[in-house]
Amino acid sequence: MKGKDFLTISDISERELMDILKLSIKLKKNKVLEKMKGKTLAMLFAKTSTRTRVSFEVAMAQLGGHAIYLNWNETNFVKGDIKDEAKVLGLYCDAIMGRVFKHNQILMIAEGSDKPVINGMDDLHHPCQALADFLTILENKKTFKGLKIGWVGDGTNVCHSLMQSAELVGLEMVVASPKDYEPKIRTNARIVQNPLEAAKDADVLVTDSWVSIGFEKEKEKRIKIFRPYQLNSQLLNIAKKDCIVLHCLPAHRGYEITSEVFDSPQSKIFQESENRLHTEKALLLHLISDVL
């Protein structure tokens, strides 16, 4: 996998996914593993961030490397050729992580750079979040075999990456979204409009914000449309008794998820959030380390 880009979950095989998850478990037990001394990661942000920025920066520090934060609007990416700018970053750094708006932007960065490019999020995909989610599922369920993921709400970039991950490992996924807000990609996931279908007998229930970055002007309209898709105790009660709840954060309590569910023993949201760090360390080692 060394030298590859990681732009979508489809860029890796099932074996590579499992290798990343297994290494993540090891790294979680031994947080400091200085295998990337002298390595540098350029972190390019067009979108605001908490988890992505901090997890990647801490990951590089714990691996013995260095991360450089770059605000998109403070670089020449806003006025120069994206491919040219990415080529320059590749000359300085060992990898680039980009958190951008349009999927085409991360594709152009990857086309320009000779070094591995990681998609930290765009409008269509959030593969790093999917890695953390699947590590959380594996830790709690010990296997992917026979599991069902129920997604409730907007068919977001996080939903897309989970759909691709589920297809990769042969896991059932049912997505319940309102009409015109269904996922924009197709996998073997089943797409429905009734949230009860997604929640029934689910092993994992997942939701995301009703108003993602870039859709703030549609807030009032979206709240009305998505109100029936709230992840609440009614849905949790028809899932399996040991169902776990995931949310990529930030969460808006009382909207896409109730505080009752968010704070329940079945919620693994903060475990999921912590796992961003460990899966990203494993991903970085796979992509740019000479020892793996």
51 is catalytic: no
pLDDT of 232 higher than 80: yes
Q: What is the pLDDT of residue 292?
A: 43
Class level of CATH domain 129-273: alpha beta
Q: What is the pLDDT of residue 211?
A: 87
Q: What angle do CA 275, 59, 124 make, to 5 degrees?
A: 60
Domain ranges of the chain: 9-126+276-288, 129-273
Q: What angle do CA 104, 124, 278 make, to 5 degrees?
A: 105
Annotated catalytic residue within 105, 133, 248, 278 = 248
CATH superfamily of 9-126+276-288: Aspartate/ornithine carbamoyltransferase (3.40.50.1370)
**DSSP helix/strand/coil, 23:** helix
Whether 9-126+276-288 shares its CATH topology with 129-273 is answered yes
Annotated catalytic residue within 51, 62, 93, 99 = 99
Nearest-angstrom CA–CA distance, 111 and 245: 37
Average pLDDT over residues 116-132: 98
- What is the arrangement of strands in the sheet containing 172-176, beginning at the earlier edge strand? 190-192, 172-176, 148-152, 204-207, 244-247
Q: What is the pLDDT of residue 291?
A: 46
Q: What is the pLDDT of residue 35?
A: 86
68-78: per-residue pLDDT in tens? Answer: 999 999 999 99
Average pLDDT over residues 216-236: 95
Annotated catalytic residue within 51, 62, 93, 126 = 126
Nearest-angstrom CA–CA distance, 169 and 220: 37
253 is catalytic: no
222 is catalytic: no
Q: What is the pLDDT of residue 130?
A: 98
pTM for the predicted model, two decimal places:
0.96
**DSSP helix/strand/coil, 12:** coil
Distances (CA, A) of 232 to 80, 136, 239: 47, 21, 11
145-170: per-residue pLDDT in tens? Answer: 999 999 999 999 999 999 999 999 99
227 is catalytic: no
Annotated catalytic residue within 208, 222, 230, 243 = 208
Among 128-132, 190-194, 218-222, which is the least confidently predicted range?
A: 218-222
